[in-house]
Chain A
Amino acid sequence: MNQELANHALNTAKLRGATYADLRVMDIRQRELSTKNGEVGTCGESESFGIGIRVIAGGAWGFASTDRLTKEGVQACAAQAVAIAKASALAKTHAIELVPEDAYVDAWQNPYIKEPFQIPMERQLALLKAADDEMRKVKGITLTETGMVFRRIEQLFASSAGSRIHQVKMQSGAGIVAYSFRNNELQKRSYPASFGGQHALQGYEMVEAMDLAGNARRGGRCAVALHSAAQCPEGVRTIILESSQLGLQVHESVGHPIELDRVLGMEANMAGTSFLTTDKLRKLRYAADIVSVVADARLEHGPGLGTFGYDDEGVPGQCTNIITSGLFTGYLTSRDTAAMIGERRSGGTVRGESWNRLPMIRMTNISLLPGTWKYEDLLADTDDAILMETNRSWSIDDKRYHFQFSTEIGWEIRGGQKVRMLKNPSYSGITTEFWNSCDAICSRDYWTLWGTPNCGKGQPMQTMGTGHGASPSRFRNVKVGMAFKKD
């Protein structure tokens, strides 16, 4: 990547009056494949190359981006960023302050075995088609969909403080879904998770390991069987959530409320604010004692969509304790928001979707740490509960108190056994009440780091990948069935 252009942009910003500047040159390549009912659906590749320049001038932020990667192009872009910052200063109530950070000259790349873009598309389509064919062998299946997506993100971060960081991230994802429509009811089963499947910072080896075709027919059979299953009852019940649903629960009811920009009101117009006001830090009993949650961007946590070497402010990936044995202990922070609450260093959580988007606080890998239970023991220890698997819908209020989730399938647990299938399961509650009702978490043997590729935030909207580790867990006294309540 062109260091000379980067230097030129930073020098221009400085000459125009910026007191701080950083930039990201990004080269993004994507391949997307899908099938529907055995035929090819989407099939394409795209690339996008450009620069985004962020400056502080007159004590305020400005950001401009361009795809004109020439000396003149980046010079105009840097000048524009400074002019925008100076316009921002018209409504300034305080000057931007950044917590200190060292300058780094480094390179980072996530490990992977098989480069997805080197695998012939014929092979990838054949893998999807095989899974699609298997699902359609099940009588009663009315619609099948499969998909794969690969993303290679190469970026150079450069700052006026002297950082020059080159990173390459390779991301893969795939999933399948079988639908069955009968008697005015549409049921579905997805594998390995819903809304696009599983995604991670890995190569094609991850997709091969999923064995989509081997799991296709079982999912299809479940989708059809759901029509004959009993409706999930309504009431206050014990529930057990399998790990992908619990990963989404973590995302919505822990990951978003801990974003310090939300807490400080910066997202109030769209994404909302947070109940986790700063007076609650290190005081609120967020969850039961057995619950600990971390925000961990380091590779040793796993190849999650929130894994990286450095964030988009040039801060190294870190592990922050968010909930420590039930106590609320940390936020997701950036260099400017950390300064606002008196923290000494940013938590390193700032990322931008692309070169044309302003980097902002985003979840890294927000993970529930494993507990001690064996899954079999957890079921055996449960007299009367509903086990819920695979998300179907999700919604939470704009302060992140009240949530409602529904899942694709449920199972009634009686006397430690799965006794019958339930359709249309749903549960709802208040975030802190829910997390304080957790009384069992399965061990690392059952823990999966799930990838959520579609987290939206910001204006203009940015879509970001986040990671969420979780293992099946049990919660007591949870309201069940409200989504399908009739009166």
Chain B
Amino acid sequence: MKLRRHKSRRSNKEEAATRLRSFGELRRIADRILRLSDADETEITIDAGADALTRFANNTIHQHVAEEFLTISVRTVLDGRTARATTNKTDEESLRRVVAASTRIARSQPKSPGLLPMPGAQKYEKVKRWCEATATATPRERASAVARICRRAAHEKQTAAGTYSSGAARMLLTNSKGLIATYEQTRAEFSITVMEEKSSGWAKASAADIRTLDVDALAARASQKAAASRAPRELAPGRYTAILEPAAALDMVGYLFYDFAGTAVQDRRSCFNDRLGKKVLGDNITMWDDVTHEGQLGAPFDGEGMPRQKVLLVDRGVPRNLVYSRATAKKMKTRPTGHGLSLPNEWGEAPLNLVLEGGKSSLDEMISSTERGILVTRLWYIREVDPYEKVMTGMTRDGTFLVENGRIVGGIRNFRFNQSVLELLANADALGPAARASGEEASDMVIPAMRVQNFHFTEVTKF
């Protein structure tokens, strides 16, 4: 029986699988380009991927897609000038053309005063983010799980919508100075919204290993939230104690990422201008950028192939360090941290693997110790209102609850907020354990749930 089932699965895989190029194929393309280029220096970045996504709504699969892609990007340097050209064609003529385009564009510019020679070979931290089960997941496997969840929602007289995706990617970055960096990663994600007539609930998770996603548990959590917020009542806007689940905390705190770029401070558009070294956040706030953290995904090198270093960004409430590309570091007379973006660009660098250290309060403890507050599942459509005070506006969504006397008393209509992220991190008086979280507004990060005093809800909507 097992053998027969296994055989039938393989047949499905063959029929529906996308084809991911091997490192050998990527390397051969890069070598061909290096031979074609007569620039002073040449850098090649190749991204190959195969992604698939099962999308459902109204308790049925309505969109179901797969793609395979290849991006070949060539940066050349000629006499102190640099430029990039990109193609997805691998025939000889196209590769010749992309090299020619890169050098033609480079020649069209004035000399770049801050341009540094390309780096040579580097050593990188080892990270393992490849899972064969994710790379070979089939549409039928994802669809079967979705069908089961949709049937359960229908049985509960609820309506489910969401996505279940899986994919794999390989990346090669090499240059004419002998640098070779490779990275491969798989990623699976499940996101679900469960709706009733006047309420909804949401849950989401992502991981390198699809087998670690408990899609049934996530669906059950969204279902319970929808049921628990039936007949939401309207509450007056104002300042409340807010208990932010990890996804809600992520979508606010994640907006800080570029403020930690050396270039942002130099351009005077970071909220940390004149705040570095000062105690502006709570004692319980310590934040790192750490690509090696087990809850993180992403390559251990930056856009130039420099090794990403672990950087202490905030130390017990004090913004302490920034991240730097090679060029920014030179300009700011410091050392690069391996966070540069692909050149040429005007943004410099950014931390892409934020880790906010957690505390010891569980979400239940935060609720049980709150006299009156708002429990927030998720935030939505967050935009920056004031860049220096880092005031963000947005809405609560898919499960907003009133907490009174230590327990959840019911759902409430969704609020608009206008809230400073800096104040939020100064007013967080309880943190949960940190874990990988997925939201919709900011990139996934490792972050705890948090309770925040005086969260500023300014208006209320109609549902």
Contact B68 A65 (CB under 8 A): yes
Contact B63 A358 (CB under 8 A): yes
Contact A88 B346 (CB under 8 A): no
Instruction: Please measure, in the bound complex, the distance between the C-alpha atom of A90 and the C-alpha atom of B70, giving whole angstroms.
Output: 31
Within 8 Å by CB of A45, from B12, B85, B346, lies B85
Contact A34 B393 (CB under 8 A): no
Instruction: Please measure, in the bound complex, the distance between the C-alpha atom of A64 and the C-alpha atom of B382, giving whole angstroms.
Output: 32
Contact B88 A44 (CB under 8 A): no
Within 8 Å by CB of B416, from A36, A85, A394, A402, lies A402
Q: Is A80 an interface residue (CB 8 A)?
A: yes
Contact B139 A83 (CB under 8 A): yes
Q: A84-B16, A393-B385, A396-B381 are in contact. Are A402 and B147 (CB under 8 A)?
A: no
Q: Which of A101-109, A208-216, A239-247, A479-487 lies at the interface?
A: A479-487
Contact B344 A93 (CB under 8 A): no
Within 8 Å by CB of B15, from A83, A269, A401, A484, lies A83
Within 8 Å by CB of B418, from A268, A269, A482, lies A482
Instruction: Please measure, in the bound complex, the distance between the C-alpha atom of A184 and the C-alpha atom of B273, giving whole angstroms.
Output: 8
Contact B88 A50 (CB under 8 A): yes
Contact B416 A63 (CB under 8 A): no
- A381-424 interface (Cβ within 8 A of B): 392-399, 401-402, 404, 406, 424
Q: Is A448 an interface residue (CB 8 A)?
A: no
Within 8 Å by CB of B146, from A91, A270, A482, A483, lies A91
Q: Is B230 an interface residue (CB 8 A)?
A: no
Q: Tell me, rounded to whole Å, the shortest Cβ–Cβ distance linking B77 to chain A.
A: 12
Q: A91-B147, A268-B57 are in contact. Are A46 and B85 (CB under 8 A)?
A: yes
Q: What residues of chain A lie closer than 8 Å to B268, measured between beta carbons?
A: 142-143, 179, 181, 186
Q: Is B305 an interface residue (CB 8 A)?
A: no
Q: What residues of chain A lie closer than 8 Å to B83, measured between beta carbons?
A: 43-44
Q: Is A185 an interface residue (CB 8 A)?
A: yes
- Closest chain A residue to B60 by CB distance? A93
Q: A42-B344, A125-B109 are in contact. Are A483 and B385 (CB under 8 A)?
A: yes
Q: Tell me, rounded to whole Å, the shortest Cβ–Cβ distance linking B380 to chain A.
A: 6
Q: Is A356 an interface residue (CB 8 A)?
A: yes
Contact A67 B60 (CB under 8 A): no
Q: What residues of chain A lie closer than 8 Å to B195, measured between beta carbons?
A: 265, 268
Contact A40 B65 (CB under 8 A): no
Contact A34 B143 (CB under 8 A): no
Q: Is B51 an interface residue (CB 8 A)?
A: yes
Q: What residues of chain B lie closer than 8 Å to A19, measured between beta carbons?
A: none
Instruction: Please measure, in the bound complex, the distance between the C-alpha atom of A264 and the C-alpha atom of B59, giving whole angstroms.
Output: 12
Contact A45 B397 (CB under 8 A): no
Instruction: Please measure, in the bound complex, the distance between the C-alpha atom of A143 and the C-alpha atom of B269, giving whole angstroms.
Output: 9
Q: Which of B158-166, B172-180, B365-373 lies at the interface?
A: B158-166
Q: What residues of chain A lie closer than 8 Å to B380, measured between beta carbons?
A: 272, 397-398
Q: Is A267 an interface residue (CB 8 A)?
A: yes
Q: What residues of chain A lie closer than 8 Å to B143, measured between beta carbons?
A: 87-88, 90-91
Contact B462 A401 (CB under 8 A): yes
- B121-147 interface (Cβ within 8 A of A): 138-140, 142-144, 146-147
Q: A44-B85, A267-B57, A483-B385 are in contact. Are A459 and B163 (CB under 8 A)?
A: yes
Contact A397 B64 (CB under 8 A): no
Q: Tell me, rounded to whole Å, the shortest Cβ–Cβ distance linking B352 to chain A.
A: 17
Q: A64-B65, A91-B56 are in contact. Are A121 and B15 (CB under 8 A)?
A: no
Contact A397 B112 (CB under 8 A): no
Q: How large is the interface on A (under 10, 10 to 19, 20 to 34, 35 or more residues)?
A: 35 or more
Q: Tell me, rounded to whole Å, the shortest Cβ–Cβ distance linking B26 to chain A.
A: 14
- Closest chain A residue to B82 by CB distance? A43
- A66-97 interface (Cβ within 8 A of B): 66-68, 76, 79-81, 83-85, 87-88, 90-94
Q: Is B433 an interface residue (CB 8 A)?
A: no
Contact B64 A269 (CB under 8 A): no
Q: Is A49 an interface residue (CB 8 A)?
A: yes
Within 8 Å by CB of B386, from A43, A424, A459, A479, lies A424
Q: Tell me, rounded to whole Å, the shortest Cβ–Cβ distance linking B339 to chain A.
A: 18
Q: What residues of chain B lie closer than 8 Å to A50, measured between beta carbons?
A: 69, 88
Mark B370-404 against chain A: 1 for CB-CB distance below 8 A, else 0.
00000000001111111111010111011000000
Q: Tell me, rounded to whole Å, the shortest Cβ–Cβ distance linking B346 to chain A.
A: 3
Q: What residues of chain A lie closer than 8 Å to B463, measured between beta carbons?
A: 397, 399, 401
Q: What residues of chain A lie closer than 8 Å to B109, measured between beta carbons?
A: 40, 43, 121-122, 125
Q: What residues of chain A lie closer than 8 Å to B383, measured between beta carbons?
A: 393-395
Contact A121 B66 (CB under 8 A): no
Q: What residues of chain B lie closer than 8 Å to A35, measured between beta carbons?
A: 346
- Closest chain B residue to A185 by CB distance? B388
Q: Tell me, rounded to whole Å, the shortest Cβ–Cβ distance linking A66 to chain B.
A: 5
Instruction: Please measure, in the bound complex, the distance between the C-alpha atom of A313 and the C-alpha atom of B1, giving whole angstroms.
Output: 44
Q: Is A133 an interface residue (CB 8 A)?
A: no
Q: Is A463 an interface residue (CB 8 A)?
A: no
Contact B440 A460 (CB under 8 A): no
- Closest chain A residue to B239 by CB distance? A487
Q: Tell me, rounded to whole Å, the shortest Cβ–Cβ distance linking A196 to chain B.
A: 14
Instruction: Please measure, in the bound complex, the distance between the C-alpha atom of A29 and the C-alpha atom of B56, giving whole angstroms.
Output: 33
- A22-57 interface (Cβ within 8 A of B): 34-37, 39-50, 52
Within 8 Å by CB of A49, from B88, B138, B192, B398, lies B88
Q: Tell me, rounded to whole Å, the shortest Cβ–Cβ distance linking A271 to chain B.
A: 9
Known: A42-B346, A269-B193. 19 other contacts (CB 8 A): A43-B105, A47-B87, A47-B88, A52-B67, A63-B64, A65-B67, A84-B64, A90-B61, A181-B388, A186-B388, A265-B159, A269-B162, A393-B385, A395-B382, A404-B416, A404-B459, A460-B51, A482-B458, A485-B458
- Give B contacts to A, CB under 8 Å: 12, 15-19, 51-71, 73, 83-89, 98, 101-102, 105, 108-110, 112-114, 138-140, 142-144, 146-147, 150, 159, 161-163, 165, 191-193, 195, 200, 202, 239, 267-269, 273-274, 344-346, 380-389, 391, 393-395, 397-398, 414, 416, 418, 440, 458-463
- Jot down 26 A-B pairs with beta carbons below 8 A, ordered by A: A37-B267, A44-B344, A45-B101, A47-B89, A50-B69, A84-B64, A87-B61, A87-B139, A88-B143, A91-B60, A122-B108, A179-B269, A181-B388, A266-B62, A268-B200, A269-B55, A269-B57, A270-B163, A395-B382, A396-B381, A399-B461, A401-B463, A402-B416, A428-B459, A482-B418, A484-B385
